[in-house]
Amino acid sequence: MGHLSAGPSGGAVSKQRVMKVVVRLDNRVSAFQLSAAQLSALRERFPEHDFIRATSDEELLRELPGAHAALVWQFEPGWYALAPELSFVATPAAGREKVARDPAGRVRSVHGSFHGKIMAETLLGMMLFWSRRFDLALRDRRERRWERDQFSGTRRLAGQLAMIVGYGPLGRECARQLKGAGMRVAGIKRDHAVDPGPADAVFPASLLPGVLRDADHVIVTLPSDTGSDHLFDDRAFAAMRKSAYFYNLGRGNAVDETALLRALEAGTIAGAFLDVFEREPLPQDSPLWTAPNLEFLPHVSAASREYLDLWLDELAPELTRLGAPEPPSTP
């Protein structure tokens, strides 16, 4: 609770507490690592907080006693007991894999939900790659060929149907981007009784095999903790059109990669673009490296120089409320 002092007219005025915020946001990908400039901007924006940067897990553990908040990529279950004053643990990550919940239920976990702003643009790029057949252009350049007629069969994205499997915040952001390109969009969601906007319709997951046959593009944006292991298997790929393309920007566990490989080799689907895999990094002996009509990114669909700036803007209300004085109680 905030401390009280006498105001100009003698009334009680609440004062902001100084709150300790431990920061451990180092990452091998520079887009995901908090810069010195970003940390300095945090301190200027919230001068009432004491931001302590930890450059190792050992430093983090030493700073947790007395900490009121932690900004991290990873947090183990046993660490909560070291921080009896902790209010919340915040992470830029959308996935729940690396920040454990407090076993005692005392401390909140705050996950980023801004990723769709970046990932929707990545998805659009993936879809344009296949729709405009940039794969043929890259192949012909390597072979020094000047072939124009092969592009006569390309189609605009406008009017095509995109099926988004996992119609949560990320799926909705993707839908906004695709609707802007003139596409028809349908979502797949377990709890389908929701406002479909911006998609045209939302279907229950139980109808998945049946509705897949209508889609020109099938996009997976599922998290890893929804019981969706190998949702896309031989049966699912067989239900898709031979002219359809498949994309995964969620988590790799949703796709049976052996089934996907069979579908690509047999021409069951036209192609695929992946950002995530069952094992990461992708093993050197994985047959996906040489699979036909497959392109992929190394789990970077959200990578952008604006990544942490977007997250810090999203986190600002939490930091504003941290240690905010409670209004004086009325006698």
Catalytic member of 235, 280, 306, 321: 280
278 belongs to the catalytic site:
no
295 belongs to the catalytic site:
no
3-state secondary structure of 193: coil
Task: List C-alpha distances in Å: 245 to 81, 237, 324.
Answer: 48, 10, 50
Task: Count the neighbouring beta carbons within 10 Å of the beta carbon of residue 241.
Answer: 17
Catalytic member of 63, 172, 251, 257: 251
**Residue 218: φ, ψ to 5°:** -115, 120
Query: Tell me, what DSSP letter sits at residue 227?
Result: S
**Residue 164: φ, ψ to 5°:** -100, 110
Task: List C-alpha distances in Å: 56 to 23, 26, 208.
Answer: 10, 8, 45
141 belongs to the catalytic site:
no
Calpha distance 321→324 (Å, rounded):
5
Catalytic member of 68, 184, 217, 299: 299
Longest CA–CA span in the chain (Å) reads 85
Q: For helices 36-45 and 307-321, what crossing angle results, to 10°?
A: 30
Active site residues: 251, 280, 299
